[in-house]
Chains A and B, each alone.
Chain A
Amino acid sequence: MTPPRPSHHLPPRRAARATARFALAAMLAACSGGRTWTEAPPRLADTGLYADAATRTVAVDAIPFEPQYPLWTDGAAKRRWISLPPGTAVDARDVDDWQFPVGTRLWKQFTFATGVETRFLARRADGSWLYASYVRTPDGRDDVLAPATGVRQFCATANGRSHDVPSHADCRLCHENGRSPVLGFSALQLSGDRDPLAPNAVPPAAGALDLAGFVARGLVQNLPAAHRATPPRIAARTPTERAALGYLHGNCASCHNASGPLERLGLRLDYPLAAGGTAPAIASTLGVASRFTRGGATQRVAAGDPEHSVLFARVTADDPVTQMPPFGRHLVDATATNLIARWIREDLAATGPSPSQPLSSRQD
């Protein structure tokens, strides 16, 4: 951390305030393990996840949480933790764009039959985020920093495919494409009103907190009253639709939203709690011409017809040119494929609100 500029540049009161701010930031950094996270530490144990690294006993300040609409990563079992510096809280004022204090740390551990990867996010004093990934050594004893370029084919998964540890550039492509870089710790994802049909969801781990739990502990503050009274939930016509919209939000919204660099595509698969009306994932897909076409599929979603829907084709593809998301998986998510096919066939049949729009008017 660089100290504030010499105080003779500032009038005395402002200089005093700047020094105090710096001292506060330094104190907060000290609380998060005495680190400023300018560089990723060489071992997972140095990030503060464990109270006892030898037995992998998780520190008490690392609180488990479980997003209800998880990302599909070729069937990996996942665990997640958050740690906030003492005396700080997440500001949930904007229900769709939570603000995290300096020193926030988040971990996500992926367990495959043949390997373990642990991803780490930490908020620096200047507001930016550190991205790092740790891979379990072959003898299983340690978890060491992976190179910033990632590790191709880190461990075998199924069907002759393997799991890639993403490069830091790829971490950013998913995490810094929308409003908040934190993707799975949000009002909708932590809601106690959990979706029983959400693909790949598992019951929260022992000791995990949900939205109400984090609010009760004072770790999430300023959540709008309406969401405190009733846990957030996707408004949908059927249980299938609720789960499909949730799946798209959890797996696709990091890129397909209204605020990131891909906004120009006009495809929105996010589910903002603050908005009402038709879900963007329906409004921007049903009957809308796709820029990317494949075979007979020319609309993003063709009413009642998954086989002619580009969205469906890209979820069911596992070739690198067609598949969505474009990286982060190699295997098809069969549960989600069935869910989305059912959604398009049953809930989006013949309700097409808008005819195909011409490409030119949609693209600029």
Chain B
Amino acid sequence: MNTIAKLFLVAAVAASTLAAVSLLGRRTEPTPVERGRYLVHTTGCNDCHTPWHMGPQGPEPDMSRLLSGHPADFELAPLPPASPGWMMHAAPTNTAWAGPWGVSFTANLTPDKATGLGTWTVDEFVAAIRTGRHQGRGRQILPPMPAPAYAQMTDADLQAMFAYLQTIPAIANKVPEPLPPQ
């Protein structure tokens, strides 16, 4: 082979390697929304933010109300008396909890503008998880929201979760304010 032909071969190999690498890169690199969907569905958000109903296999999240928080129309039964042997009681929807902090209700994470995260900015979302403060600047976010655990996620992952949450169906549901301890 003459020099020109050798050079041509080297260039061709290099180009095809580059193309293969970039193709591979494209296949393994999910978009933020895909990454966010993966994270939201593997880190337990549905367990608490999607109201539960009685399914054929027993209680399970009602995916038709995906991540819409504690249902505003749900009638809470009177609280059981406090007992030193148990710390926390959950409503049948798994969206309301009574404990020493009072009663907390899971937030509506759908992009509904008036009642969900529709008017939140990504910075507010990240700040809420990072600081553990309501909207990133108010009262302490109450248990059992695992904000201290999620606060250890990277900015990119938190931003990805927010990006995904903004794409799910908006559901109007005005979650009540938490109740102070008795």
Which A residues fall within an 8 A CB radius of B?
A: 169, 173, 177, 255, 261-262, 264, 292-294, 317, 319-323, 326-327, 359-360, 363-364
Report whether A327 and B124 are in contact in the complex, using a CB–CB cutoff of 8 Å: no
* CB closest chain-A residue, reference B142: A321
- How far is it, in angstroms, between the C-alpha of A212 and the C-alpha of B177 when the chains are bound? 46
Q: Is the CB of B131 within 8 A of A326?
A: no
**Interface residue? B53 (CB, 8 A):** no
In the complex, are the beta carbons of B113 and A363 less than 8 A apart? Answer: yes
| A173 B119 Cβ-Cβ under 8 A | no
Residue from the set B137, B142, B181 with the largest chain A CB neighbour count within 10 Å: B137
Report if A321-B178 is in contact (Cβ < 8 Å); known contacts: A262-B137, A326-B138, A327-B139: yes
**Which residue of A is nearest B131, CB measured?**
A169
Tell me the nearest residue of chain A to B138, going by C-beta.
Answer: A326
**6 additional contacts, CB 8 Å, given A292-B177, A322-B180?**
A319-B181, A320-B139, A321-B180, A326-B133, A326-B137, A363-B113
Taking a contact as CB atoms closer than 8 A, the residue among A261, A293, A319, A326 that contacts B102 in the complex is A319
- Verify A261–B114 contact, CB threshold 8 A: no
B136 CB contacts on chain A under 8 angstroms: 261
B17 contacts A by Cβ under 8 Å: no
Cα-based distance from A261 to B125 in the complex (angstroms):
12
Is A363 a contact partner of B139 (Cβ separation < 8 A)? no
Q: Is the interface of B mostly helix, strand, loop or mixed?
A: loop
Question: What is the 8 Å Cβ interface bit string for chain B, positions 116-143, against chain A (1 contact, 0 not)?
Answer: 0011010110000001011111111010
Query: Within 8 Å CB of B101, what residues of A?
Result: 320-321
CB distance B137 to A261 under 8 Å? yes
Name the CB-closest residue of B to A317: B180
* B-chain residues with CB within 8 Å of residue A327 when the two chains form the complex: 139
A357 → B minimal CB distance (Å): 13
Q: Is B179 part of the binding interface, using a Cβ–Cβ cutoff of 8 Å?
A: yes
The reply to whether A293 and B133 contact each other, CB–CB distance below 8 Å, is no
Which residues 79-115 of B sit at the A interface, judged by CB distance below 8 A? Answer: 101-102, 113-114
CB within 8 Å for A173 and B133 given contacts A326-B139, A359-B114, A360-B114: yes
Q: Check B119 against A264 for contact (C-beta < 8 Å).
A: yes
Contact residue among A261, A292, A320 (Cβ-Cβ distance under 8 Å from B140): A320
Give the residues in chain A near B118, CB-CB below 8 Å.
364
In the assembled complex, the Cα of A326 lies from the Cα of B137 at a distance in Å of 9
Which residues of A are found within 8 Å of B123, using beta-carbon distances? 261
What CA separation (Å) do A292 and B178 show in the bound complex?
10
Residues of A within 8 A of B178 (CB): 321
Nearest CB of B to A331, in Å: 16
In the bound complex, do residue A363 and residue B137 qualify as a contact, i.e. CB atoms below 8 Å apart? no
Given the complex, which residues of B lie within 8 Å of A264, measured CB to CB? 119
Task: Determine the distance from Cα of A321 to Cα of B104 in the docked complex, in whole angstroms.
Answer: 10
B137 touches A255 (CB 8 A): yes
Inter-subunit contact B139/A293 (CB<8 Å): no
Q: How far is the CB of A251 from chain B (nearest CB, A)?
A: 15
Q: How far is the CA of A319 from the CA of B142 in the complex (A)?
A: 13
Determine the distance from Cα of A323 to Cα of B137 in the docked complex, in whole angstroms: 14
Q: Which of B119, B138, B140, B180 contacts A363 (CB 8 A)?
A: B119
Residues 126-182 of B contacting A (Cβ, < 8 Å): 131, 133-140, 142, 177-181
Cα distance A309–B44 when bound, in Å?
Answer: 38
Complex Cα gap A76–B35 (Å): 49
Contacting residues, chain B, for A262 (C-beta < 8 A): 135, 137
Complex interface residues of chain B between 16 and 31 (CB less than 8 A to chain A): none
A292 to B119, CA, bound (A): 16
**Smallest CB gap from A262: residue in B:** B137
